[in-house]
Chains A and B, each alone.
Chain A
Amino acid sequence: MEKDLQEILSNYKGKKSEIIPILQDIQSNFGYLSETTMKEVAKFTNVSESEIYGVATFYTQFRFTPKGKKHVAVCTGTACHVTGAQQIIEGMERHLNIKEGETTADGEYSLESVGCLGCCALAPAAMVNNEIKSKLSLRSIKRIFRGYRPGDSSEQ
């Protein structure tokens, strides 16, 4: 359920140290940080908009464009790297017909590479929403997308 922005803000006092938790809260509800929400956060915390952007753009977690319904985060930690994470990303890019950091046109999937997910013993790994998929191979990628082809839903 999407909470109203004001409802989210009402849980905070507007202190500067709350900026990151507020942004995290907004992103987990709306999927990304829109221009309007950023303005509201600036007003609420009494910190300039540029400073809010400065904080938000520093951390890789924050995004300014909507995520797909299913967000795929491919781990690029050391263990995943030596077991072929790059090939997994390239395989997914081909499958979804998007580049890393992009979202499919129908909004179903978004793809990004992330720092270590801490599943190194089961490398290579990826996280689909909050679920970890491990020991990936170019073959098992197909199972993750369950027959999805970019453009599928638009044709329906």
Chain B
Amino acid sequence: MKFEEMVQKEKKDYETLFSKETAVLIGSATCGNSAGAQTAKDVMNKELEGHDVRIIDVGCIGLCYAEPIVMVLKPDMPAVFYGNVTKKVAKKIANYHVIHSEPLRKYALGSYGGKIEGIDPLFEEKNMKMQKRRILRNCGFIDPTNIGHYLARGGYTGFMRALEMDSSEIIGEMKKAGVRGRGGAGFPTWMKWQFCLDSNQETNYLVCNADEGDPGAFMNRSLLESDPHSILEGILIAAKTIGAKTAYIYCRAEYPLALERLKIAIQEMKERGFLGENIQGSGFNLEIIIKEGAGAFVCGEETALLASIEGERGTPRTRPPFPTTEGLFGKPTVINNVETMANAALIMQMGSEEYSKVGTDESKGTKTFSLVGQVKNTGLIEVPLGTTLKEVIFDIGGGIANDGEFKAVQIGGPSGGCVPAQHLDTPIDYGSLLGAGAMMGSGGLVVMDQGTCMVEVARYFLEFIQKESCGKCVPCRLGTKQMLDILTDITTAKGKKEDMNILTELAQAIKQGSLCGLGQSSPNPVLTTTRFFMNEYEAHINEGICPARDCKDFIQYTIDADLCDGCMVCFKSCPVGAISGSKEEVHVIDPAVCIKCGTCLDLCKSKKKAVKLVDVKL
């Protein structure tokens, strides 16, 4: 079948689904599933047996705080999104809305494709309106295991356009679009492709880096699970441009669902003639091989990733030569991030002019972020580059969870930094973030409130880096260990006055002396926290207190005898039996047994909270 005919047919089917059919779309990416999407689906299946209803697994619309999410489609009325769909709610939705066309306002998140009385359009809400969903446009609206849905929404038209162009024209489009690598460093994509072409060799490779290892980041996972074809289309375009006949996708083994959906998508591509020999009659051949990572953060570094594909220990190599001249199996190789691939597909679909209308002069387009931590509306978001951190956290994220106070936002993963309140007006683009001591990174935003100790955050990241250091070069292998030891001392009340000087000295040495990006950026957590939160380090070392009351060695839980009702709740829930007392008598915590887990404080039922968190006098 010709491409245009195929698209026409799929468009018709997809439009019918949205306008004339009754269907339940279940948000079943990993986040949805873990919140109970499959249970909701089972309930739907059971309640709707015998009815003419299609139940379809779709991806994630990014409102993780409201998972599980389902969308109900009925003919001749706008669709409705429901959130927090428990068993009970699923049963109600099935019986009222799906069967009897009576939407349930109480559980609705919003409508789609029009307004229903009492239910406002979801994408008109402030937190959605401030976003620009380009990369995530299909997420939650298509069945990721059905290539037809992707085709119906304009999929693969970018690749078909690329087939009509030569490499320099495609590279020209990327250059005009101004897209920069979304993996973190922000290297212009067109330049990478050009370097690879310039190396003038017969065999070139394309590698898609889906080794999303940054703790706190899950944008790539969500996209792989919700819209795998958008990435695969980008891979086709990039491979065609650089003349690669083999492309690799290096994906983390920790993402089983993403891997499963990628495999299905690749199979579908083969069936529809988008992969293999003579793709769409163009004479272009490509095979895509999935390589599963084996749990090593450093493999996100491009030369380490290549070593891993070659079957070796994932240790970085010195650059130059850069992979675009000497990469996989010694051949010129382009390594692009998942989101970069999706951007390439989008640019070819919409044209560079339209694409570059969004963003800043230096940073074009949009960027997806996982917004997590102590923020009200956690989730996956996409904003034009240049949006400020404040807008993201307070307007889209809804502010700090539990009415807490904002302290810092960690951006860019272990290599990034913590941005404090006074820099919240920083626009999110490659340059501005560097100025605030952070970096774009792959897109994890972890929000921290007053209860997070910044020294402990620095210690956590150093522990992570130290574990993940591959051990090849000395500054990173030994230096991070020394830094970690000092930070551990400070957070466990063993800090010494001279520690701060040694830390700074080590940080400089590691930054200058390490072989790869992981090592060079490993002191960043310490450098940014000392820059903005030096007072916390000083409080730990000089005054013997942890201002955030986070570090266990500086705190203690006690029960205020005047406030305790003797309700026994904490007594029963203490995991180590550190609380003594009997009914309607004041309880006492034995500090020698207490493990400071905080369960008693969370559960204390007395009106004024009898359980208190206090500083230990050191």
User: Residues on A close to B: CB < 8 A?
Assistant: 15-21, 23-24, 54-55, 58-62, 76-83, 87, 90-91, 94, 114-123, 125, 127, 130-135, 138-139
Contacts and interface: CB of A to CB of B under 8 A. Distances in A.
Nearest to B294: A59
A17 B309 contact: yes
Interface stretch (B75-83, B152-160, B214-222): B214-222
Interface stretch (B180-188, B444-452, B473-481, B585-593): B444-452
A144 to B, nearest CB: 12
A116 B217 contact: yes
Contact of A120 (B292, B370, B457, B595): B370
B107 interface: no
B214 A24 contact: no
Interface stretch (B28-36, B131-139, B556-564): B28-36
A76 B464 CA distance: 9
Contact of A58 (B291, B314, B448): B314
A78 B292 contact: no
A61 B314 CA distance: 13
Closest CB pairs A-B (n = 3): A121-B64, A77-B215, A59-B294
Contacts of B373: 78-79, 82-83, 120, 123
Interface residues of B, number: 64
A49 B310 CA distance: 17
Contacts of A132: 30, 33-34
Interface of B: 30-31, 33-35, 64-65, 67, 212-218, 221-222, 253-256, 291-297, 308-315, 329, 370-374, 378-380, 410, 413, 444, 446, 448, 452, 457, 460-461, 464, 468, 470, 573, 575-576, 595, 597-599
Nearest to B290: A21
Contacts of B31: 119, 121-122, 134
B26 to A, nearest CB: 16
Contact of A116 (B213, B314, B573, B599): B213
Contact of B312 (A55, A114, A139): A55
Given A78-B410, A79-B446, A58 B470 contact: yes
Contact of A20 (B308, B457, B461, B599): B308
B380 A121 contact: yes
B85 to A, nearest CB: 15
Contacts of B35: 122, 134-135
B291 A21 contact: yes
Contacts of A87: 597-598
Contact of A81 (B255, B444, B460): B460
Given A115-B254, A134-B35, A16 B217 contact: no
A20 B294 contact: yes
B256 A130 contact: yes
A117 B213 CA distance: 9
B372 A121 contact: yes
B597 A138 contact: yes
Nearest to A127: B254
Contacts of B291: 20-21
A116 B296 contact: no
A62 B31 CA distance: 25
Contacts of A125: 34
A111 to B, nearest CB: 16
A89 B315 CA distance: 30
A147 B297 CA distance: 35
23 contacts: A16-B310, A18-B311, A19-B311, A20-B294, A20-B311, A23-B294, A24-B253, A59-B293, A59-B295, A59-B296, A76-B215, A78-B373, A78-B413, A78-B444, A87-B597, A114-B254, A115-B468, A117-B30, A119-B34, A120-B216, A121-B370, A123-B373, A139-B599
B216 A77 contact: yes
B315 to A, nearest CB: 8
Contact of A21 (B292, B295, B573): B292
B254 A138 contact: no
Given A120-B218, A122-B34, A132-B34, A78 B446 contact: yes
A140 to B, nearest CB: 12
Given A78-B460, A116-B216, A133 B410 contact: no
Chain B CB within 10 A, most for which of A20, A135, A139: A20
Nearest to B222: A118
A84 B256 CA distance: 25
Nearest to B452: A82
A138 B575 contact: yes
B254 A82 contact: no
